Structures are given as C-alpha cells and as structure tokens.
C-alpha cells in the first residue's frame, strides 16, 4: 500500500468520523424538537404557520441543486476537466450565498415582527410558541454557520484545483468537501418539513 493511498484512506476515515459527530449534534436538536412538539403540538402548529413556506421551499431546491453541482465537480475533476470542476464549485458557492441571502430576509421579517429569542413578543406568547422559535433560530442559525463554513471550504478547494493541487489522481479533498456539503443539505431536508410543514 502506497503512502498516498494510506493518506487518502486516513483522510476519508477522518471525514466520516467528523460527519458522525455532526450527525450526533443535529440529532440531539431533533430529539429536543420531537419532545417539545409532543408537549406543545398546537402551539408548534400555530408557530409553524407564521413561517414563509415559499422561501423554505426555494431554499430546499437551492440546496438540492447545490448538492448536484458539487457532485458534478467531482465527476469533472475525475475526467481532467479542470475549468469545469472549478466552475461547478463556484456555482455551488453561489447557490449557498443565495440560500443565506434568502435566510437573511426571512430572519429580518421575523425579527421586525418581534419574533426572536429573548423578545418581549415571545415572552408574552404561549410557552410552546416561544419554544418553537427558540429551537427554530438556534437550529437554522447553526445550519447557517455550517453553510458559511462550507462556502469557505469549497472556495479553498476551488483555489487548490486551479493551482493543480487537486487533480484526478488526488481528489480526496474535493470528495470530502462534497461529503460535508451533502450533510449540510441533508440536515436542511429534515429542518424544512419539521419547522415549515407542521399541519
């Protein structure tokens, strides 16, 4: 076994281990959500109905598309299509930025209505209503932080591809970055129905 192959194996194992810890983190939040939902089902439904399901749907489609583009970037690099791979990485970043812009406007609208953690409006609301939005802001904020990290990571990867440090023979870093991005997308696939589509 070559040193390079061992390094690739170690890098892949390390990424899967990191992703496992991320799954535990978000799973914990989803468990808290489920317990609180069981306690305040009516309040959660009322709170969910105040969210903008159209923005949530658009952001879901954006992230699903970004998962496709980062996967295509891997295919491109494996075929030695350097410029195409870089372009697809940049498209992925662009989609992520659009997601965050949409989230910014959504959060701004909620904050303008006095809905944010610690606000007087939530303090005067039903306990389940306040619990919903506290969880919503924390979970989507944490997810947004992961989006920002992904933007930086994929940007660095694109620069490394341009410099020839990531090639068809050495694409593990791009593959690991794509795995991270798929996790970010997967988390949102759970967040969207849990928060936006409560009947």
pLDDT digits 0-9 by tens, 84-98: 999 999 999 999 999
Instruction: Count CB-CB contacts under 10 A for residue 43.
Output: 19
Instruction: Count CB-CB contacts under 10 A for residue 111.
Output: 12
Query: Considering its fold, how many domains does the chain have in total?
Result: 1
* Ramachandran area for residue 80 (φ above 0: left; ψ -120 to 50: alpha; else beta): left
Residue keyed to tokens 């690739």? 8
**Residues 2-29: what's their mean pLDDT?**
80
Higher per-residue pLDDT: 4 or 138: 138
Residue 166, classed as helix, strand or coil, is coil
Torsion angle of the four alpha carbons 145, 149, 155, 158, in this order, in degrees rounded to the nearest 10: -130
Residue 3: predicted pLDDT = 39
Indicate the pLDDT class of residue 141, thresholds 50, 70 and 90: very high
Q: Which domain holds residue 140?
A: 3-196
**Are residues 60 and 194 in contact, defined by beta-carbon separation less than 8 angstroms?**
no
Residue 163, classed as helix, strand or coil, is coil
Q: Fill in the DSSP letter of residue 40.
A: -
Residue 121, classed as helix, strand or coil, is helix
pLDDT for residue 6 is more than 70: no
**Residues 131-157: what's their mean pLDDT?**
97
The enclosing domain of 23 has a CATH number of 1.20.120.80
**Are residues 147 and 99 in contact, defined by beta-carbon separation less than 8 angstroms?**
yes
**Residues 169-190: what's their mean pLDDT?**
95
Q: Which two tokens stand for residue 165?
A: 């440090």
Residue 7: predicted pLDDT = 58
Looking from the CA of 194 toward its CB, the CA atoms found within 13 Å total 24
For residue 108, CA distances in Å to 38, 112, 155, 158 come to 29, 6, 27, 32
What is the tens place of the pLDDT at every residue in 50-93? Answer: 999 999 999 999 999 999 999 999 999 999 999 999 999 999 99
């Amino acid at each position: 076994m070559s040193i390079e192959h061992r390094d690739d194996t170690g890098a892949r194992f390390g990424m899967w281990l990191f992703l496992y810890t991320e799954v535990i983190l978000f799973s914990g939040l989803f468990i808290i959500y489920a317990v609180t939902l069981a306690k305040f089902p009516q309040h959660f439904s009322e709170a969910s109905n105040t969210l903008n399901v159209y923005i949530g749907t658009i952001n879901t489609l954006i992230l699903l598309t970004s998962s496709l583009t980062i996967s295509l970037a891997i295919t491109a690099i494996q075929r030695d299509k350097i410029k195409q791979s870089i372009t697809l990485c940049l498209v992925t970043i662009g989609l992520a930025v659009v997601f965050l812009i949409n989230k910014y406007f959504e959060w701004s609208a909620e904050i303008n209505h006095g809905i944010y953690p610690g606000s007087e409006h939530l303090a005067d609301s039903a306990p389940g209503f306040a619990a919903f939005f506290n969880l919503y802001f924390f979970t989507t904020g944490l997810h947004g932080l992961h989006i920002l990290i992904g933007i930086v990571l994929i940007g660095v990867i694109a620069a490394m591809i341009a410099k020839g440090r990531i090639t068809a023979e050495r694409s593990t870093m791009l593959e690991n970055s794509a795995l991270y991005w798929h996790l970010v997308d997967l988390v949102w696939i759970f967040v969207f129905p849990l928060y936006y589509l409560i009947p």
